[in-house]
Amino acid sequence: MWYPDLELNAKSENLEEIINRDNLEISSNTKGFGYTFVKYYPEFTNDEKELHAIIKGITVFLLHLTNEALLDWLKSDTYFKAQHHCGLEVLTAGPDQSSKRAFLSGCWGRKRNILAEMAADLAALETHLVIWRAKYKATILPNRPDRALVYLNDEQKHGPEFPKAIDDHVAKAVKEF
């Protein structure tokens, strides 16, 4: 499967390497691609501006559209995110007030754990995408030519990371069901 964010990262690393050749002091930069690109944008050569435009195009026309579609689906989902209770063991009080363990109903066996894991990842993904959208609207939409990237969990830690295990959980769920 092709992941646009990996393509974006590769192009961003390429542009950072080009910038590093001309500006040795940024080799120790710990603020990330976005900071570096904004800082050095006024000094970019035509080739660097072209690569920067490609990176921005991936952000605006691919990642933004993909993220919006995912967020729309997540907002309308009434099944998968509701599986967060699957596999949760709770203590209940019996008629004689004794404690007993019970599993919340609705999921059984291995499917229970897969759905619970996936539901947690989907909730984390929704949070990530809502914050990504806010940062996108605040930094890319004001027509800032120097802005090309929207990272949340980079060196500046503006938000939660993309839930990395979600691909594995979705693959397991598809296989099981």
pLDDT tens string, the chain, 177 residues long: the values are 445 566 677 777 877 777 766 664 554 455 778 888 888 899 999 999 999 999 999 999 999 999 999 999 999 988 777 766 554 444 444 444 444 444 444 444 455 677 788 888 888 999 999 999 999 999 998 889 999 999 888 777 888 888 888 888 878 878 877
- Domain span at residue 28 reads 4-176
Q: Please report the pLDDT score of residue 170 as a whole number.
A: 79
Token pair 């689906």 is found at 73
Q: Please report the pLDDT score of residue 79 as a whole number.
A: 79
Number of domains the chain contains: 1
Q: Please report the pLDDT score of residue 133 as a whole number.
A: 96
Exposure b/e, 19-40, CB count within 10 A at least 16 = b: beeeeeebeebeebbbbbbbeb
What's the whole-model pTM score?
A: 0.71
For residues 125 and 166, is the Cβ–Cβ distance under 8 A? yes
Beta strands in the chain (DSSP E): 89-93, 99-103
CA dist., res. 27 & res. 47, Å (int): 20
CA dist., res. 60 & res. 54, Å (int): 10
Q: Please report the pLDDT score of residue 25 as a whole number.
A: 54
